[in-house]
Structure 1
Amino acid sequence: MAATRIWSIKGRLDSVINYVTNPEKTDGGKYTDTELQALADVIDYAEDEAKTHNKVYVSGINLSPNIARDQMVMTKLQFGKTDKILAYHGYQSFLPGEVTPDQAHEIGVELARRLWGDRFQILVTTHLDKEHLHNHFCLNSVSFVDGKKFRGGSKAYWQMRAESDKICAEYGLSVIKNPGKGKNYAEWKAEHENRPTVRNQIKDELDEIIKCSYTYEQFWKILKQRGYAVKRDVKYVVLKPAFSQRYIRLKSLGKNYSEEAIRQRIIAARNGIRDLDKPKSDYNAWLNKYEPTKLHGFKALYFHYLYLFGKIRKKETPQRVSFYMRDELIKFERYQKQFRFLYDNEIETVEQLTIFKENVENKIDEMIIRRSKLYDKTDSKTEIKTINAELRELRKNLRTCNNIFIDAERIREHTEYVARLEKEANEPQKQQIKDYVIG
C-alpha cells in the first residue's frame, strides 16, 4: 500500500531540494561531500542490493540531480514566471517491509514519469531513514516545454493517488482503499473476475448461517462460534472473521446483508421461502486444458491444490475442509499465476527452480552493468527504457521463484491435512454402509 500527498511550495526552491536530497535520509551509509557529489550525478537506482549496502537514491527526470535547483530556476527565468508557487512537493509512502529500497525508488521514478515526465522537471528521491520507505518528489511549477504552470489542488492529488495505486497493483503490492467504496482496486478487480475475496468469503458464510438460523439472535451466536469478532453496540455493526485483519461494516457487504435484510431472510428461510439458486460457476473450467496425468512435481502439486479450490467453492468438500481453507482461498490468483509460471517454464523440481532462479539473477546482473554504461551517452534513452522493461520482467520472475520456494511447502502441508480431514469425514459414512450391509 502506498499513501500519497502533494502540496505547493511558496518559499525558497532550494529548501525543498535540500530536504529531499538530504544524504542522511537517502543513503545507506556515510559518505564524504565529494563522494556524495559523484553519486548524486547519475544514480543507478536498480542496482542489486546484494552488491552494495551503501546507496544513494536520487534521480532526475528532465534534469540532472546535482544541478536541479539551477535548471529549475533557468526554466522559470526563460518564461518569466518566478513568483507565487515555485514548486510542488509530493510524497509516496509504503508499508513497512512491503518493498525494498530498489523497488520503492523504481516505483517512484515510474510514477513521476507517467504523471509529469512529458512536461515538467522532477527530482525523485527515496528516503530510508524511517521503517516505512518513502519517496519525495520536487516538481517544478513551470513546464520546460511551454512555460505553463502546473495545476495542483485536489485533482492533482486524486490523479497521483490513482496512478500510484495502478503501479502498486502492477508490482503486486497492496492498494489504498477507494474512498466511499469500501474496497481496494485489487479486490474490485478480483470480484469482477469472479475470484475469491475476503468479502465474498464472508458473504458466502453469512448465507450459510442465515439458512441454518431459526432466530436472529441464533444467527449472531453461530457467527461467533465460527470465529467471528462482532461489535453490535456501535452506530454501524461491524464484524471481523478469523481470516481477516480488519473489521468490515455489515452494511458495506450489500443490501442483502443489512440487519433488517438478514432478519427478513431468516424469517423467509424459517417459513420455507427461498430464492431460486443461481447457476453454479465452473471454477475449474480453466484447468481443463491441462492434463493432470502428465503433470509431475511442483506442477502436479499446484494443479491438485487449485482443483481443490474449485471443489470448495462449489461446496463439494466437507465443511471442515471449507472452514480450514478459508484464508487460503484468498490466495487463489497468486497460486494460479505460480502454476502457470511453472507450467510455461517446464519446472517440476527444486533443482530446476533453483537453476531457473540463478539464471534470472545472472541476467539481472548483466543488464544492470550494461545499463550503467549507457547513462553517460546522450542518445541512450530508448535503450535504457528497453532494459528497464526487461529488468522489470526479470525481477517479476525472480519474485515468483522466491514465492514458490515458500508457498510450495505450505501447499504441500495444507494438501496433506485436507486429505486427512476428508478421510475423517468419510469414515462415519463408510461405517454406516458397512453396518447396513451386515444388518
Structure 2
Amino acid sequence: MRNISDELCREYGLSVIEQRSNVSKSRAYCFQEKTLKSMIQEDIDEAISISYTPTQFYNELQLLGYEYKISEKNISVKHPMSRKFIRLKSLGSDYTNEKLMKRILDYNKVQQNGFERYDCLGFDIRPYFEKYKQKRLTGLQRLFLHYQYVLKILPKTNRTKPSPEYQKEVIKASQKLDTITWQTTIICKFDIQTLDDLNIVMTGFEAEMKKLIATRQKYRNQIRYCNDEKEIQELKNKAKELTPKIGLLRKWLGYCEEIEEQSLHINKFLEEKVNVKSRKGKAYERN
C-alpha cells in the first residue's frame, strides 16, 4: 500500500517522504525478534549439552548454520534466519563468556555421559568396562579405562565425587575427551595391548590409506579421458565414496600418534595418586 500511495502522490505532484526515520518496531517484528532469541537460546543449550570443549561447541554452532564472532568480552552469533549478530550475554546470566565456558567444561556433565560418548561413535565400551572390573584387561586397554574409571567418567553413575585435585584432572581430561574416547575406541577395537601392537596397527592404517588414495586418484585420472557423462558421474561417485574412508584413517592415525604421549601422562597421574595415598597412609599410622 505504501508503494501504491507513493506512486499516486508522484503522479499528481504531491510530496513523498523518501527517507523514513524513527519508525517504531511493529508488534509482529518484536514477537519475531523474541521468538528468534528463544530459538537461539535452545540451540545454544543443545550445543552445550553435547560439547565438552569450546572448540567442539563452536563446531556444533556451525553445524546448526550459525556464524560466530569471539572477542575478549563477548561471544556473538548470527542465526541462519537473521541478518545481524546477537551477543550471547543478552540472552541472560547463563550465557556470559565465563558461564558458557563453565557449562561446557562442567564436571557433572562429563561424569553423566561416559557411556553415551562411546555410543555416539558407534562403539560399545560396556563389555570392555565389564572386563576391566573383572581384572581381565591388560596393557593399554586397562590403562585407558582405569584412567577414566578413576576420574569417574566411567561408569556413567557414581555415588561419590572425586577430590578437588581429581576434579582438576577431570577438567583437563574434558578438554581432550574426544581424543581420549577415540583413542580408547581404537585401542579396544584393534586389540592394542602394547606400543608394538600400536605400531603394527598404524602401519596397517598407513598402507590402507595409501591404497585408497591411489584408487581415488585412478578414478580421477580416468575422468580426464572419459567422454561419457554417465560414466564420468559413476567415476566421480566412486572417488567421492573413498574420501570419508581416507579421512577416517587419517583421523585414526592422528589419534594413534598421540597415544604414547597420552599414556605417559596417564601413568604419571596414576603414580602420583598412589604416592599421595601412600603418604596419607603413613601419616595416619604415625598419628
TM norm structure 1:
0.35
Instruction: Give the Cα separation in 1 of the matches to 2:143 and 2:272.
Output: 18
Do residues 288 (structure 1) and 145 (structure 2) align?
A: no
Match of 1:396, as an amino acid? L
Q: Are 2:229 and 1:384 aligned?
A: no
- Rounded Cα–Cα distance in structure 1 between residues aligned with 2:278 and 2:187: 36
Equivalent residue of 1:310, what SS? Answer: coil
Cα deviation for residue 385 of structure 1 reads: 1.4
3-state SS, counterpart of residue 338 of structure 1: helix
Matches within 5 A, 1:129-208: 191-193=48-50, 195-198=51-54
Matching residue within 142, 158, 163 for 1:318: 163
Give 1:374 deviation, angstroms.
Answer: 3.1
Residue 360 of structure 1 corresponds to which residue in structure 2?
209
Structure 2 vs 1, CA of residues 383 and 189 (structure 1 numbering), >3 Å: closer, same or farther? farther
Unaligned runs of 5+ in 1: 1-179, 200-230, 239-248, 262-277
Aligned-partner Cα distance in 2 for 1:356–1:316:
39
Distance change in 2, residues 1:279/1:331 (3 Å): closer
Q: 1-side partners of 2:191 and 2:285: how far apart?
A: 45
1:370-409 to 2 correspondence within 5 Å?
Answer: 370-377=219-226, 378=228, 379-380=230-231, 381-405=233-257, 407-409=258-260
Q: For the Cα contact (< 8 Å) 1:371–1:384, is it kept in 2?
A: yes
- CA gap 1:279/1:389 in 2 versus in 1, 3 angstroms: closer
Q: CA offset at residue 324 of structure 1?
A: 4.4
Superposed displacement of residue 317, structure 1: 3.4
Of 169, 181, 184, the residue aligned with 1:339 is 184
Return closer, same or farther for 1:419/1:346 CA change in 2, 3 Å cut-off: closer
With over 3 angstroms needed to count, the CA separation of the structure-2 counterparts of 1:375 and 1:257, relative to structure 1, is closer
Counterparts of 2:203 and 2:270 in 1: how far apart (Å)? 29
Q: Using a 3 Å threshold, how does the CA distance of structure 1 residues 434 and 192 change in structure 2: closer, same or farther?
A: same
Question: Given that residues 140 and 192 in structure 2 are in contact (C-alpha distance below 8 angstroms), is that contact kept between their aligned partners in structure 1?
Answer: yes
Q: Is the contact made by 2:219 and 2:235 (CA closer than 8 Å) also made in structure 1?
A: no
Name the amino acid aligned to 1:386: K
* Offset, 1:363: 2.7
Match of 2:146 in 1: 304
Comparing both structures, which one devotes a greater share of its residues to helix?
A: 2
Q: What SS does structure 2 have at the residue aligned with 1:417?
A: helix
CA RMSD of aligned residues (A): 4.3
Tell me: CA distance 1:424–1:302, structure 2 relative to 1, closer, same or farther (3 Å): closer
CA-to-partner distance for each residue in 1:240-259, whole Å, 9 max, x for gaps? xxxxxxxxx9958963687x
Q: CA deviation at 1:332?
A: 0.9
Q: Is the 8 A contact 1:318 1:425 kept in 2?
A: no
Distance 1:432 1:252 in 2: 52
* Aligned mates of 1:279, 1:340 — CA distance in 2: 20
Q: Tell me how far 1:408 sits from its aligned partner.
A: 0.8
- Cα distance in 2 between the residues matched to 1:333 and 1:280: 11
1:367, 1:387 within 8 Å by CA — same for their partners in 2?
yes
1:317 partner SS: coil
Output the CA distance in 1 between the equivalents of 2:91 and 2:54: 11
Equivalent position of 2:280 in the other structure: 429
Q: TM-score, normalised by structure 2?
A: 0.50
Listed one character per residue, the Cα deviations across residues 251-271 of structure 1 (whole Å, up to 9, x for unaligned) are 58963687xx9xxxxxxxxxx
Question: Deviation above 6 Å: which 4+ runs of structure 1?
Answer: 312-315
How many matched pairs? Answer: 190
**Equivalent residue letter for 2:49:** H
Identity across aligned pairs (percent)? 13
Q: 1:359 to 1:280 in 2, by over 3 A?
A: closer
Distance 1:355 1:294, change over 3 A: farther
Corresponding residue for 2:267? 416
Which ranges in structure 2 are unaligned for 5 or more consecutive residues?
1-38, 56-71, 76-86, 100-107, 117-124
> Deviations along 1:165-219, whole A, 9 cap, x unmatched?
xxxxxxxxxxxxxxx969xx9x8666333x53359xxxxxxxxxxxxxxxxxxxx
Kept after mapping to 2: 8 A contact 1:364/1:394: yes
Taking a change above 3 Å as real, the CA distance of residues 370 and 382 of structure 1, as seen in their structure-2 partners, is closer
Q: Structure 1 397/253 Cα, relative in aligned 2: closer, same or farther at 3 Å?
A: farther
For 1:54, the equivalent position in structure 2 comes to none
CA distance in structure 1 between the partners assigned to 2:239 and 2:137 by the alignment: 35
Q: CA separation in 1, counterparts of 2:170 and 2:255?
A: 19
